[in-house]
Structure formats: structure tokens, C-alpha cells
Amino acid sequence: MCLICGWIYDEDRGDPDHGVAPGTEWKAVPVNWTCPECGARKEDFEMVQI
């Protein structure tokens, strides 16, 4: 979950609009990827259980 805006990365959905295919595990998301909602960096995310 993004600590800035609360957007949640879902591994099943990925972020295909920004180059991350559905099914991509979080650890495989590129380090330069940013939150599609607010532009926060990957390091600004924290694991949450939903």
C-alpha cells in the first residue's frame, strides 16, 4: 500500500498501464516504478494484508 495516498498494488492486476504485467510479484516490480495515483516511489510502499 502506498503510504502517501493509500493506493494498493495488487499482484494479480499488476499495473499494465505503467509497464507492470498482471501476475507480477511485488519483489519483481522495477525499483524505478512509481505509484500510478500520486507518483510515490516503490520505497514509499508498505506490505498490508487485505
The answer to whether residues 9 and 45 touch, using CB atoms and an 8 Å cutoff, is: yes
Instruction: Specify burial of residue 9 (Cβ count, 10 A radius: 0-12, 13-18, 19+).
Output: buried
Residue found under cell 500510478: 36
Give the whole-angstrom CA distance, residue 35 versus residue 2. Answer: 7
Provide the residue count of the chain: 50
- Please provide the CATH number assigned to the domain covering 1-49: 2.20.28.10
The answer to whether residues 22 and 28 touch, using CB atoms and an 8 Å cutoff, is: no
Q: Binding residue per annotation — 7?
A: no
Encode pLDDT of 10-49 as tens digits: 999 999 999 999 999 999 999 999 999 999 999 999 999 8
Q: Is the pLDDT of residue 50 over 80?
A: no
Q: Binding residue per annotation — 5?
A: yes
